[in-house]
Amino acid sequence: MYRYFLTRTATAVALALVLPVTSVSMTVLAPATAQAASAAEALIDNFHSGLLNTMKQASSLGYSGRFKRIEPLVKRTFALQTMMQVIVGPEWNGLSAADRGALMDTFGDWVVANYASRFNGWDGESFVTTGTTDGGRNTVVVQTEIRPQNVKLGYRVLNGKVVDVYLSGSVSQLAQWRSEFAAVLKQQGAKGLVAKLRSSENQLAK
Amino acid identity for residue 158 in this structure:
L
Helices marked H in the chain: 31-56, 58-77, 80-88, 97-118, 173-204
Whole-number Å distance between alpha carbons of 28 and 132: 10
**So what's the architecture of 21-204 in CATH?**
Roll (3.10)
Could you read off the pLDDT tens digit of each residue along the chain, which spans 206 residues?
444 443 332 222 223 344 333 333 434 445 457 788 999 999 999 999 999 999 999 999 999 999 999 999 999 999 999 999 999 999 999 999 999 999 999 999 999 999 999 999 999 999 999 999 988 888 999 999 999 999 999 999 999 999 999 998 789 999 999 999 999 999 999 999 999 999 999 999 98
Domain ranges of the chain: 21-204
